[in-house]
Structure 1
Amino acid sequence: MKNQKSIYALLLVPVFIFALLGFTADTEEVAAGYKVGDIAEDFSLPGIDGKMVSLADYPDAKGFLVIFTCNSCPYAVAYEDRIIALDKKYKTKGYPVLAINPNNPEIKPADNFAAMKVRAAEKGFTFPYLLDKGQTVYPKYGATRTPHVYLLQKTTEGNKVEYIGAIDDNYQDATQVEEKFVELAVDALLTGKEVKIKTTRAIGCSIKS
């Protein structure tokens, strides 16, 4: 009996270590990247039109909706029309959408540059669709899902992160949405108010690296 208990204890050791490592990895994922209140660095990424795009290219913008998205994720696809609607509603008010595909095209061929051009044309994207070439930008932001939204506000210090998370509370059906997190956040900034809901959990596919 004593030997059996010893063997059982030894078998539990790898399980414990695995659980501990898993917890540590999750903690690091949550801890990495920008938080609300941080100043986001500018970037320069290739767009599907062949031009390099950065935040500095928009001197008249009041802020930005930086949205990490892609072609292949069903969650991202479900939100495409809503992302187009966000750009249409807020671009003229100073908050344009900049969509960034963070996936590694070698792992997800459906998200390669050529496929991005096709998808943008099919859907009639009204905003820049950029490739995070080398996957250097999304880790700085701390994006983990597609879609994952970062609302930036221009300040004298730089582009301040004001909201991080989901577009709304119902990815399955746009007609059943109860809380439009991004719209509430941008509307607050437009009226000089504080964003009430600053972070939500992004629902989508994991970024492929």
Structure 2
Amino acid sequence: MIVTFDLFSALTDSRTGGSAVFADLAARRGWDRTGVELYDHWDRHNKGLQRTARPPVTFSELSRQALARTYDEFGLGQGTVEVDLATIEESVPEWPLWPDVADGVRAVAAEHRTGILSNVDDALARTTRAARLVEPELLLTSQRLGAYKPSEQIYRRAAATVAPDRLVHVAASARDVRGALEAGITTVRLVRRGHAVDAEGPQPSLEVEEAADLPGVLQTL
């Protein structure tokens, strides 16, 4: 069995990490906005753009467009978009994992091959703390697979890459859970603060509260 994890919801507390760098940017620029406000708007625009984007448009380019839209919304101007995006991307290696991730992923890796399935460029994926916990050859990115979540294509191409009948995906966000299930991928929902299931989509039959519970659930498959 090959188990992939979503990078920026299931493994990484991206809202905490991203909000911290946005708070620092706001303080340096003298903006009357919180880091959480800026991160949440940037994240929303990122996800919106990913719904229609297709590689070779890069994750970095989508992030730049999302940042430009965020700054427009808040009237912050466009003069610092490029340099601020570089600062955000350079901060990603410091974004924290959820507290249960390191031990939980290692427990899964003791029994199964493990990887990451994420809307991200290869180079950025390799810088994350989560990348150190999985097999490098199983960093399955939008850049590598030629599609972005929530398109069913990224899940189907991931399965075709690693073995269609052996892939299990661990997801936390509503769109990731729904996308994987709609693609016919065996999916385990890992409950994370701030994420819920899409009420209009298929419902996961497998769900865990902590990453430490994953090995037991995987044994049943």
TM range (shorter): 0.3 to 0.5
Q: Which structure shows the bigger proportion of residues in helix conformation? A: 2
Q: Which structure shows the bigger proportion of residues in strand conformation? A: 1
The higher radius of gyration belongs to: 1
